[in-house]
A = this chain, B = another copy of it.
Amino acid sequence: MRPSIKQVALEAGVSIATVSRLLNKPDSVSIDTASKVNRAIEALGFRPNFTGRNLREGRSHTVGVVVPTLSNTVFAQCLQGVEIAARQLDYSVMFTATEYRQQDEFAAVELLLAHRVDGVILTVADADASSTLDVLDRERIPYILVYNQPQQTARPSVSVDNRAAAYDAVIHLIKLGHTRIQMLAGQFHASDRALQRFHGYQQAMHEHGLQALTPIEVPRHTSAALSVAYLQTFRDPLQRPSALFCSNDLLALSAMRDLRALGLRVPDDVSVMGFDGIPLGDLMDPMLSSVAQPSEQIGEQALRALVRVIEEPQDGRAPATSQILPHTVRLGGSVRTFHSRS
């Protein structure tokens, strides 16, 4: 077995309390006992065992992260932000994915809680109706949502204003002369963000006297196989929208590929606008227009806010503050002005 403070104490000829003190508040131990102990630590290759400390302190200096998937760059970047900030604040990160299965959210959080993480950062399918979050609330476990932006409930979150961001994106298309704009989205039931973005789309359309079209909801996996079935209506130039607003960049990029497969050109035949602003969008040709959210920052801010709550001296009501980060409409060649065909 690996050495514990006990062996170190023995080796140094001091008590375990002294070793512990040296580790935690080095000032409280005399200069020469310190060096004695340090020598022993060195000699034994001692490494403190956090398990013991955690058990004793009732906390783990670890936060849990639960996101749908890492296949979407957005969540990978967010996790990256969380991890970087965590490292700075001396926290570790335990990570889990749900693969967009709402029923897995609960188990994921339960596991994290069994590990006694000090708090959790998560993205759920529906932040306003989540039994998982109910548990967290009930048990007063510090948590903070990322990407989710609860409407009915006062749950702490870090996100962009999804509705406003989508609104801005659609307005941009409208200003370019588009009138037939359709939305392409993942399954709404798996993403409340997508639904909020759809509301932003609707609002923009209505405010400009335009008809909101039925959104195209594509199942997961679509991006894997080249299935252009969902774009069949696009064959007819009179039928198809002149612009497609996609609820995320992955979808937008897939759509662009599928449109090409159909023989349609972007942006000449159809303009495409995404959401997320993933870095690779800039490397496309044409560059993907998108409304960008600062994913890494979202993760970073979430971690900082979470730690703030965790280390709150009073355990009274956690401030549960929500944060809206700014989005930016990023212009690329995937969108162009629309000139009426008549």
Q: In the complex, are the beta carbons of A95 and B96 less than 8 A apart?
A: no
Q: In the complex, are the beta carbons of B51 and A79 less than 8 A apart?
A: no
Given A80-B97, A87-B96, A280-B280: A51 touches B60 (CB 8 Å cut-off): yes
Contact partners of A279 in chain B: CB under 8 A? 71, 223
Does A168 make an interface contact (CB < 8 A)?
no
Does A282 make an interface contact (CB < 8 A)?
yes
Question: Interface segment, A6-14, A107-115, A145-153?
Answer: A107-115
**Chain A residues numbered 25-58 whose CB sits less than 8 Å from any CB in chain B:** 45, 47-52, 54-55, 58
- A3–B17 alpha-carbon span in the complex (Å): 28
Q: Which residue of B lies closest to A287 (CB)?
A: B257
**Chain A residues numbered 97-144 whose CB sits less than 8 Å from any CB in chain B:** 97, 99, 110-116, 139
For chain A, give the interface size range. 35 or more
Q: In the complex, are the beta carbons of B283 and A51 less than 8 A apart?
A: no
Specify which of B1, B49, B62 is in contact with A94 (CB 8 Å cutoff). Answer: B62
Does A166 make an interface contact (CB < 8 A)?
no
Does A236 make an interface contact (CB < 8 A)?
no
Given A71-B279, A83-B96: A51 touches B116 (CB 8 Å cut-off): yes
Given A71-B77, A71-B80, A283-B253: A48 touches B114 (CB 8 Å cut-off): yes
- A260–B285 alpha-carbon span in the complex (Å): 9
Number of copies: 2
**Chain A residues numbered 194-222 whose CB sits less than 8 Å from any CB in chain B:** none
Does A305 make an interface contact (CB < 8 A)?
no
- A76–B72 alpha-carbon span in the complex (Å): 9
Contact partners of A83 in chain B: CB under 8 A? 70, 95-97
**Chain A residues numbered 61-84 whose CB sits less than 8 Å from any CB in chain B:** 62, 69-71, 73, 76-77, 79-80, 83-84
Does A93 make an interface contact (CB < 8 A)?
yes
Contact partners of A280 in chain B: CB under 8 A? 253, 280
- A79–B79 alpha-carbon span in the complex (Å): 11
Contact partners of A285 in chain B: CB under 8 A? 256-257, 260, 284-285
- A256–B84 alpha-carbon span in the complex (Å): 30
Q: In the complex, are the beta carbons of B92 and A93 less than 8 A apart?
A: no
- A151–B182 alpha-carbon span in the complex (Å): 54
Q: Which residue of B lies closest to A75 (CB)?
A: B76
Q: In the complex, are the beta carbons of B77 and A70 less than 8 A apart?
A: yes
Contact partners of A49 in chain B: CB under 8 A? 55, 114, 116
- A58–B73 alpha-carbon span in the complex (Å): 36
- A58–B51 alpha-carbon span in the complex (Å): 9
Does A254 make an interface contact (CB < 8 A)?
yes
- A283–B284 alpha-carbon span in the complex (Å): 9
- A60–B50 alpha-carbon span in the complex (Å): 11
A and B contact pairs by CB, cutoff 8 A, 22 listed: A2-B139, A47-B114, A50-B114, A51-B115, A69-B80, A70-B70, A70-B76, A70-B80, A70-B83, A76-B76, A84-B97, A84-B99, A92-B94, A92-B111, A93-B94, A93-B95, A93-B96, A94-B95, A95-B95, A223-B283, A253-B283, A257-B285
Extra A-B contacts (13), CB below 8 Å, given A1-B58, A51-B116, A73-B76: A2-B139, A45-B139, A47-B110, A49-B116, A73-B73, A79-B95, A87-B96, A92-B94, A92-B115, A93-B96, A223-B283, A257-B282, A280-B280
